[in-house]
Structure formats: C-alpha cells, structure tokens
Amino acid sequence: MSTISRDEVARVAALARIDLRPEELDRLAGELEVIVNSVAQVNTVATPDVPATSHPIPLTNVFRDDTPVTPLDRDKVLAAAPASDEGKFLVPQILGEE
C-alpha cells in the first residue's frame, strides 16, 4: 500500500506553485514512495550502539596554520601599482558620478 498518494503530490506541488501534468503526478508519487521506503529502511538499521555519522570518511582541515607574518610594505606595493594617490591604489572610475 502506497503511503504517498497522487493527491498529496498535487497538494505539495500546488503549495510550491509547481504545475504538474497528471502523468507527472503519478510518476512523482511512485518516486517519492521509493524515497520514503528507503528512509524507513535506514531507520530500521539505525540502533543506539551505532554512532551517527555525517560523513563516511573522516575529514581533516586542509587549511594552513594561522601564524602571524610580517605584512607587505605598503610603499613597495604601491610602487609596483600602475597608479596610486595618497597611499591608495588609483583605479579608473567605472560608475558615473552622482
């Protein structure tokens, strides 16, 4: 016996403002039924002695250590820039003045 009816699919589709053709309602009811059954099967396997996992493979942080370093010298950086003014990069204006 199906737990997801065609009418339930139509109701959810209407709430989501999705227009579905009659054949799509029937197909989606079947597909949602497979999903519900799969979740139910997983729930029967889960037991208190099995810890929950969010990922099957342990993940490790791939970022480098956050260690302080000497910052770049502003004058040297600005000297390499095409244009600068008052200690800032000078770039062409891309928006009209208001």
Domain CATH code at residue 40: 1.10.20.60
Query: Considering the domain boundaries, does residue 14 fall inside one?
Result: yes
- Residue 40 falls inside a structural domain: yes
Top pLDDT among 53 and 63 is at 63
Phi, psi for 76 (deg, rounded to 5): -65, -40
Within-domain flag for 16: yes
With the CA atoms of 27, 30, 34 and 39 taken in that order, what torsion angle do they form, in degrees rounded to the nearest 10?
100
Asked if the structure places residue 22 within a domain, the reply is yes
89 pLDDT band (50/70/90 cuts)? very high
Number of domains forming the structure of the chain: 1
Q: What is the pTM of this model?
A: 0.45
Domain holding 21, by residue range, is 6-45
In a domain, 95, yes or no: no
Confidence at residue 58, expressed as pLDDT on a 0 to 100 scale: 79
Question: Is position 11 within any domain?
Answer: yes
The letter for the amino acid at 5 is: S
How high is the pLDDT of residue 16?
Answer: 95
Q: Return phi, psi of residue 84, to 5°.
A: -145, 160
